[in-house]
Amino acid sequence: QSVLTQPPSASGTPGQRVTISCSGSSSNIGSNTVNWYQQLPGTAPKLLIYRNNQRPSGVPDRFSGSKSGTSASLAISGLQSEDEADYYCAAWDDSLNGGVFGGGTKLTVL
């Protein structure tokens, strides 16, 4: 059971906009920033969004992040087939004094 809660799956058609939610609590998302990772099959996770809404160099602006209270969201606009992957949210948890991840969302591009 992951500390952060994500829907197990999401889907969309090419060109569509999809959002993935991440729910936490006051000790993690409520008091710290949220990061998002993309994982393609057989590869290490890749940082997609850091500090709630910042994109590392090289990440397309089709990817955006937001946070409100104890929840966060990842939005992908102009969906492409190459976006089919697993997506994970993460944050620091002050009560656990450690990092925590969501269970992951498998995105399917129909």
Partner 1 sequence: QVQLQQSGPGLVKPSQTLSLTCAISGDSVSSNSAAWNWIRQSPSRGLEWLGRTYYRSKWYNDYAVSVKSRITINPDTSKNQFSLQLNSVTPEDTAVYYCAREPRIAAALLIWGQGTLVTVSS
Per CB under 8 A, residues contacting partner 1 are 2, 32-33, 35, 37, 44-47, 50-51, 54, 56, 88, 90, 92, 96-101, 103-104
Q: Which residues pair with 12 in a beta bridge?
A: 109
Given the complex with partner 1, which of 63 and 92 has the nearer CB atom?
92
Given the complex with partner 1, which of 5 and 19 has the nearer CB atom?
5
Both tokens of 90, joined, read 């993460």
Residue 74 near residue 23, CB atoms below 8 Å:
no
Given the complex with partner 1, which of 13 and 97 has the nearer CB atom?
97
Phi and psi, residue 51, nearest 5°: 50, 50
